[in-house]
Structure 1
């Protein structure tokens, strides 16, 4: 994957360069070069997410076996807001985060973190990371809900794949689809607390402790959040104080902190829009991004595209913008309509229509079966990466505190 290759060469280059003894001027020039390269990589990754490369028509002949197999989808670009697209999004985040940490921390003099504006920007970034952990947990819970929807859809597929289709098959499919649609229709506040009509408390790994501090879950201890917790408000809070740095900042590191903050907020915002999460009413659709920055174009383009989709769906009561969920809901409604007018025996035309709908639902279930668990694992990886990176930055801040502490004689 090109993004991963770029990341590896970038990190190796920084590691080698910072182990060398260089003059201050040369070091400053190289830091500027590293920053430019970091921005370019961010722009490339988000460009790929906005405009994925098209597969050449000659890559696979229409009649070839590979073009008809399920694995052929791996070579075609994923559509926006599909499970595969979200997996690419999280890959891009992990690559950006690794390069950002190299720019910010690797071989850095801790004293720089005590200078303006980093003395303000770093705590803000750490606070956003805590809020992002809650979002990761909410998204994980939402993906579990989507798993349950897939199970109901699979019941309907199995029932309606029988030949011939009888009244018993239709009743079984209709019951499963009505359960599925009823769950999708729940208010966002209830979606993740009522998987099967039973109220459950959401478990969280971080709680609040003054100044945006966090307490990590240890052993069997768990943190719960009130039902009033809102994913939309969490994203809004993450956007607070998110302002592009002015030119000529003293440390020169304000820009990468701003870039990584935008990347973190965008990724969590997209996940909240795509996956069922608690309370998403009023989810923001505008980001404070300066258009003249080299990486801003693709980010703004993605925000606009996803924001347009969100505005369309929000008015109807939204179960998330995940492409597979949207298709599942649409086909479920059509199949319920068929079930309500079902008469045995079915005519050939009705048989063909149902077969098309069942095939589409089976394809959606297949994509969910293949992609949901890997996506959940990636969300978990993002969670743990944020925890580790936050701890590393806190270690640097701790060093700054020790340096600035006067020695008692």
Structure 2
């Protein structure tokens, strides 16, 4: 048999060689696909586990620790860590998430991120408002602290005025007409004139710089929660499981923003958001538990559910009642009572003052993380 018969372009040996080459390529492609699929599955599993562990840890705190400055910082830290891992999933699967059917879900997620920036701004405004409260509290403490000198009537009057100014700044503008007389009496029995009402309006308008006057935290939360539904089985299959972390991150985002609005004084606060997570998600139990525990505190304070804010309000009420009833010359019993109330107020003042800066830094970090993710998405 001639050589041309054995090695020609259409010989069985050449055909076999091409078949083997094609099989090898298909095998390599199959191995690469399997490896990529396995890597993605591990990523998705790791992400769900991190969310679960973080929120289980957050849910273990006592009622006294819940919504404290330290707990809020821990919550924001959990969001940042989960967000970074979610961002890595998007980058590792950017071809798939940029095409149907995931492109729409990702687009909706980025729209929620833009709305989240407003809530971060409103939270920063709320922290700045708390700083105004602290200035008034500082005056009260300076006025009532004895420092080895007898407490005078002038000092009490100075403290009373600072308490009145504090009461004005802690009122929401929408409550001015309906609540002003009652709250005014609760914080002090003087200065109920129209001039003080105008003074109140000036205070209430001064703390919202980053969001417009008609802006509403409650409406923004409702907008973020709108159309947020768990993925169906068909969507999970069609997206190779990527629909699950997208829904998870949307839910984490909503819960964290809702908690920020609950804890910190925001413009037109409202917590009437239903957060219903299917039980098949491992993180649903701790998130649902935290949501229910915070909801139970909803009516506790119109200024925010932050633990330290509630402590300030309680101490201020006691000090106000004291300075409104004190008479000169002070009895020994009144002197002891003043010293005790001033000491309690000083401790609360210090805790809130020291916690605000680190809390604000974390709110800003959340803002910048969201901005970076949004920019990468575009």
TM-score (norm 1): 0.74
The residue number in structure 2 matching 1:300 is 288
Change (3 A) 1:34 1:111: closer
Kept after mapping to 1: 8 A contact 2:173/2:204: no
Q: Which of residues 26, 40, 46 in structure 1 aligns to 2:49?
A: 40
Compare the two structures and name the one with the higher helix fraction.
2
Structure 1: how far apart are the matches of 2:44 and 2:328? 68
Superposition pairs of residues 97-246 of structure 1, within 5 angstroms: 97-106=83-92, 108-116=93-101, 118-162=102-146, 163-187=149-173, 196-197=202-203, 199-200=205-206, 202-204=208-210, 225=212, 227-246=213-232
Structure 1: how far apart are the matches of 2:141 and 2:206? 29
Structure 2: how far apart are the matches of 1:255 and 1:189? 42
The residue number in structure 2 matching 1:333 is 317
Do residues 24 (structure 1) and 33 (structure 2) align? yes
1:363, CA displacement in angstroms?
Answer: 1.2
Kept after mapping to 2: 8 A contact 1:155/1:173: yes
Kept after mapping to 2: 8 A contact 1:142/1:275: yes
Kept after mapping to 2: 8 A contact 1:285/1:307: no
Structure 1: how far apart are the matches of 2:175 and 2:328? 41
Q: Which of residues 269, 273, 290 in structure 1 aligns to 2:278?
A: 290
- Give RMSD over aligned pairs: 2.4
The residue number in structure 2 matching 1:273 is 262
Superposition pairs of residues 234-383 of structure 1, within 5 angstroms: 234-248=220-234, 249=236, 250-251=238-239, 252-281=241-270, 283-310=271-298, 312-313=299-300, 318-383=302-367
1:352, CA displacement in angstroms?
Answer: 2.7
| Post-superposition CA distance 1:185-243 (Å, at most 9, x none) | 223689xx978537459444xxxxxxxxxxxxxxxxxxx62x22110000000001110
Matched pairs, number = 322
5+ residue gaps, structure 2? 1-29, 177-198
TM-score (norm 2): 0.79
Kept after mapping to 2: 8 A contact 1:81/1:274: yes
Compare CA radii of gyration and give the structure with the larger one. 2
1:360, CA displacement in angstroms?
Answer: 1.8
The residue number in structure 2 matching 1:385 is 369
Structure 1: how far apart are the matches of 2:366 and 2:304? 21
5+ residue gaps, structure 1? 1-20, 55-76, 205-223, 395-409
Structure 2: how far apart are the matches of 1:139 and 1:256? 26
Change (3 A) 1:244 1:194: farther
Structure 1: how far apart are the matches of 2:77 and 2:201? 29
